[in-house]
Amino acid sequence: MSTEQEQPRIGVSVCHCGTNIGGFLDVPAVAEYVKTLPYVIYSEHNLYTCADDGLTSIKNAIKEHDLNRIIVASCTPRTHAPLFQYTCESAGLNPYLFEFVNIREQCSWVHMKEKEEATLKAKDLIRMGVARANLLEPQTEKRVDVISKALVIGGGVAGMSASLSLADQGFQIYLIEKEEELGGMVRKYYKLTPSNIDALEFIDNMVNKIKIRENIKIYKSSIVKDVRGYIGNFKVTIEGKSNENLEVGTIILATGAQEFKPNGFYEYGQDERIVTTIELENKMRIKELDGVINVIMIQCVGSREERIPYCSRICCMTAIKNAIYLKKEFDISVNILHNEIRVYGDYYEALYRKAQEIGVHFNKFGENDKPKVLKENGTLNVEIFNEGLGRIEKYPADLIVVSTPMVNISDAESLSKMLKVPLGQDRFFFEAHVKLRPLDFATDGIFLCGAAHAPATIPEVITQGYGAASRAAIPLASGYVQVEAITSHVEEAKCRGCGRCVEVCEYKALELAELENGRRVSRTNEVLCKGCGTCVATCCNGAISMMHYTSEQINAMIDAALSEKVGGGIVG
Amino acid sequence: MDNMFKPRIIAFCCNWCSYAGADLAGVSRFQYPPNARIIRVMCSGRVEPRFVFRAFEKGADGVIVTGCHIGDCHYISGNKKAEERMKLVRYLIGILGLEEDRFRLEWISASEGQKFAHVMTAFINKIKELGPNPMFGKIEEGTECQQ
Ligand SMILES: Cc1cc2nc3c(=O)[nH]c(=O)nc-3n(C[C@H](O)[C@H](O)[C@H](O)COP(=O)(O)OP(=O)(O)OC[C@H]3O[C@@H](n4cnc5c(N)ncnc54)[C@H](O)[C@@H]3O)c2cc1C
Ligand code: SF4
Ligand code: SF4
Ligand code: SF4
Ligand code: FES
């Protein structure tokens, strides 16, 4: 469809997102207001624009009203733009004639107590979107070849599962592990639940499968020092025994987690009889439990309170698992002190019942009434207000195990910066979308699995590893990706050949060429250009334009933002 | 009068870091005042000085440009170029008779939702202190980069 000469015919769909938007601003009023804007032919509001009926409604509107521009005002382009662009395309509209307006992440969710102002802001934002949409032009995307190799960062259960799956599909894999051995946290455990298998045996099994694969190259005691480039063409620097530069098409992050060290909680670190769960598992492994008769486990140490507000999911089932081993294999009595036992699913629920049956004690303390560890003549006692019995109780202990949560690795922050992927509020790595893209990062070509995302069990992280592998394999298998048609373009007539733009371009995408009349002008190599726009801002002669982000479009947005005193200014 | 003043702010956010940071502020429900209108650009290096002047000319009370931290720009060094350019912008704004503090450049990463909300709140409060753009209607059209 050619739109260059055509007048814009804009259709706008405003989304309620259930109550996510609809609950905090007046969506029908916004949709009504939109109708008054120039070139807007059609406006609607939907409960969920991204659901089937919302998308169908956009397609129908394009046909019925002969629309040549579509605007969706909803969530963020960083997750939902491809879906709506695809919808436009399937109705015969060039996807570059689509404009996204963010009224959820950047409006309803951040102004939850200011319905009136948020509504005005949404109107402003859509007015800006309409201003830009008027000036949009159709574009054609170029294809870029993909290097059919993948990088997996982290050789725990998740990273190994992902590597194996990708290797099975025939791709070359580079597996980077910081430690001297593959295996991750599981290497430190005694036995695993479900299945009672010896932890080391389980890991060695997996490692052996990896080792024999010719198409998995393992880098132990190595870390990723630098990542440059884009989906299809990442350039990665590995630092370790030898420093190497690798080129890969996709990257999977599987750096796992660590156990929170409860320094400052009870006398951890000062009294050797107070240990974490991993330290207990180690003691069981090396059978270092002589003289221990009573073990007390304290749940939720550090978690589900101010600093680490989340439930770490695995600690209750791990405590129960270990309690059963202590009882059955070491004949040690175990008392689990908890605020509430959180085991889920059939299997762990059954494990909980089994522990009760064989005589593991469970005692509940109050949420704001944490257990106290008392030292009397060198003997350890734990005191709680026992909610079940309604009185203070004191239990003797030879060993106190504090169940602490899993937290993200210490170098998460620097990895997050290097890969340009976000951390969430819980400081774990943050996926592109909880429901739509749970294993992707918003940055194309980078994927996520395992405990790096959130505390999870081994079966769960294996599933995620396989899932991330299949996501990462899509570009590798197709051999190319379409890259956005956002490149610079030099208008020869305006160019004075000063060469400033050539200097600032990091990708050597601009070159001075000599015209027949001897005049020198700059030219863009569209395959090399990444669309940053730095050259555009550099040229004092306004000779460079940016496809899809033209200066005219941005100017129009600025003007539209300030054209009415609807959302700001001095009102009333 | 002070309570009546609702500053109008234009915010340029780079797609890869700050815009993502703004999204994260939303996902985390960090609240900040509703005065800023965000314009997404691919990189802070895309922001032409004349965008900033135009915004002031059209009546913005404050303009903020945000990008990835130095060293983290998705396009290697776009933010360094932006930094150089924006120094000049700050200077020229002074010459135009505007307080330099009406303009701000900040680095906010994709994981700094909290920082995004803080920066916005602080900037908006600063502009509230400074009051309405005194040059609104007085800046000549076509103020351009003289670099
Ligand atoms: C005490 C305890 C007991 C548990 N018991 C069980 C159980 O019985 N059954 C069960 O199903 N689950 C159990 N779990 C959960 C289990 O530990 C996790 O599901 C599993 O370890 C997650 O695997 P992963 O590969 O995601 O992470 P990890 O095991 O943490 O592996 C991540 C790997 O990445 C490496 N790495 C980190 N940073 C970098 C970097 N920058 N560069 C390169 N490599 C890096 C690490 O060295 C590590 O090898 C238990 C957890 C705890 C805390
Ligand atoms: S996710 Fe986005 S498009 Fe879907 S319902 Fe919510 S705001 Fe609308
Ligand atoms: S900066 Fe502008 S005038 Fe100079 S060479 Fe580049 S396009 Fe031409
Ligand atoms: S947009 Fe960026 S990558 Fe493309 S030519 Fe200009 S400076 Fe180079
Ligand atoms: S991409 Fe964020 S500043 Fe360049």
Q: Are A465 and A162 spatial neighbours (Cβ–Cβ below 8 Å)?
A: yes
**Other residues' Cβ atoms within 10 Å of the Cβ of residue A205:** 11
SS3 of A489-558: the string is: EECCCCCCCCCHHHHHCCCCCEEEEECCCCCEEEEECCCCCCCCCHHHHHCCCCCEEECCCCHHHHHHHH
- The answer to whether residue B136 is domain-embedded is no
User: How far apart (Å, rounded) are the C-alpha atoms in residues A555 and A47?
Assistant: 32
User: How far apart (Å, rounded) are the C-alpha atoms in residues A479 and A437?
Assistant: 22
- The answer to whether residue B143 is domain-embedded is no
SS3 of chain B: the string is: CHHHCCCCEEEEEECCCHHHHHHHHHHCCCCCCCCEEEEEECCHHHCCHHHHHHHHHCCCCEEEEEECCCCCCCCCCHHHHHHHHHHHHHHHHHHCCCCHHHEEEEECCCCCHHHHHHHHHHHHHHHHHHCCCCCCCCCCCCCCCCC
Give the pLDDT of residue B139: 63
Judge whether B115 is closer than 8 Å to chain A, CB to CB.
Answer: no
CA distance A308 to chain B (A): 15
User: How far apart (Å, rounded) are the C-alpha atoms in residues A418 and A228?
Assistant: 8
Q: Is B73 in the pocket of ligand 5 (CB under 6 A)?
A: yes
Measured in whole angstroms, how far is the alpha carbon of residue A140 from the centre of its chain? 29
Residue whose structure tokens are 């103020």: B143
First to last CA, chain A: 45
Q: Using the beta-carbon criterion (under 8 Å), do B39 and A563 form an inter-chain contact?
A: no
A110, A435, A548, best to mutate vs chain B, most B CBs in 10 Å: A110
- The answer to whether residue B110 is domain-embedded is yes
Q: Which residues of chain A have pLDDT under 50?
A: 1-3, 566-572
Model confidence pLDDT, tens digit, residues B73-132: 888 889 999 999 999 999 999 998 999 999 999 999 988 999 999 999 999 999 999 999
**pTM, full prediction:** 0.75
Q: How many CA atoms lie within 13 A of A513 on its CB side?
A: 12
Residue A238 forms beta bridges with which residues?
Answer: A224, A244
Q: What CATH number has the domain bearing residue B29?
A: 3.40.50.960
User: How far apart (Å, rounded) are the C-alpha atoms in residues A61 and A70?
Assistant: 9
- The answer to whether residue B97 is domain-embedded is yes
- CA A49 to ligand 2 centroid distance, Å: 6
Mutating to test ligand 5, I would choose from B13, B40, B65, B68 the residue with most ligand atoms within 8 A of its C-beta, which is: B68
Q: How does DSSP classify residue A205?
A: H
- CA A153 to ligand 4 centroid distance, Å: 30
Judge whether B72 is closer than 8 Å to chain A, CB to CB.
Answer: yes
pLDDT of B2 higher than 70: no
Measured in whole angstroms, how far is the alpha carbon of residue A27 from the centre of its chain? 29
| Pairwise pLDDT comparison (A80 vs B3), residue with the higher score | A80
- Three-state DSSP state, B128: helix
User: How far apart (Å, rounded) are the C-alpha atoms in residues B112 and B131?
Assistant: 28
Q: β-pairing, A149-153 with A172-176?
A: parallel
User: How far apart (Å, rounded) are the C-alpha atoms in residues B142 and B147?
Assistant: 15
Give the pLDDT of residue A565: 58
Q: Which residue, A223, A222, A206, A225, is CA-closest to A167?
A: A206
- The answer to whether residue B44 is domain-embedded is yes
CA A317-A320-A325 angle, to 5 degrees, is: 130
Q: Are B24 and B119 spatial neighbours (Cβ–Cβ below 8 Å)?
A: no
Q: Using the beta-carbon criterion (under 8 Å), do B29 and A551 form an inter-chain contact?
A: no
Residues in chain B: 147
CA B40-B41-B46 angle, to 5 degrees, is: 155
- The answer to whether residue B141 is domain-embedded is no
Judge whether B22 is closer than 8 Å to chain A, CB to CB.
Answer: yes
Q: Which residue, B113, B86, B122, is CA-closest to B9?
A: B122
Q: Are A277 and A319 spatial neighbours (Cβ–Cβ below 8 Å)?
A: yes
Calculate helix-pair angle for B18-27, A77-90, nearest 10 degrees.
Answer: 100
Q: What share of chain A is helix, strand, coil (3-state, %, to 5)?
A: 35, 25, 40
Q: How does DSSP classify residue A471?
A: H
Residue range(s) defining the domain that contains residue B123: 2-130
Q: Using the beta-carbon criterion (under 8 Å), do A557 and B132 form an inter-chain contact?
A: no
Q: Are A58 and A46 spatial neighbours (Cβ–Cβ below 8 Å)?
A: no
Phi and psi torsions of A3, nearest 5°? -120, -5
The two tokens of residue A134 are 């008027």
The two tokens of residue A292 are 């221990």
Domain count, chain B: 1
CB-defined site of ligand 2, < 6 Å: A 15, 17, 20-21, 48-50, 74-75, 80, 104
Give the pLDDT of residue A215: 97
- The answer to whether residue B125 is domain-embedded is yes
Give the pLDDT of residue B141: 54
CA distance B10 to chain A (A): 7
First to last CA, chain B: 39
The two tokens of residue B77 are 């060094």
Mutating to test ligand 1, I would choose from A153, A178, A186, A300 the residue with most ligand atoms within 8 A of its C-beta, which is: A186
**Other residues' Cβ atoms within 10 Å of the Cβ of residue A410:** 8
The two tokens of residue A135 are 């000036």
- The answer to whether residue B142 is domain-embedded is no
Whether the link from the prior residue into A455 is cis, omega within 30° of 0, is no
Q: Whose CA is nearest to atom 37 of ligand 1?
A: A255
Give the pLDDT of residue B3: 58
Mutating to test ligand 3, I would choose from A489, A496, A511, A545 the residue with most ligand atoms within 8 A of its C-beta, which is: A496
Judge whether B77 is closer than 8 Å to chain A, CB to CB.
Answer: yes
Q: Whose CA is nearest to atom 6 of ligand 4?
A: A535
Q: Are A249 and A262 spatial neighbours (Cβ–Cβ below 8 Å)?
A: no
Q: Are A220 and A179 spatial neighbours (Cβ–Cβ below 8 Å)?
A: yes
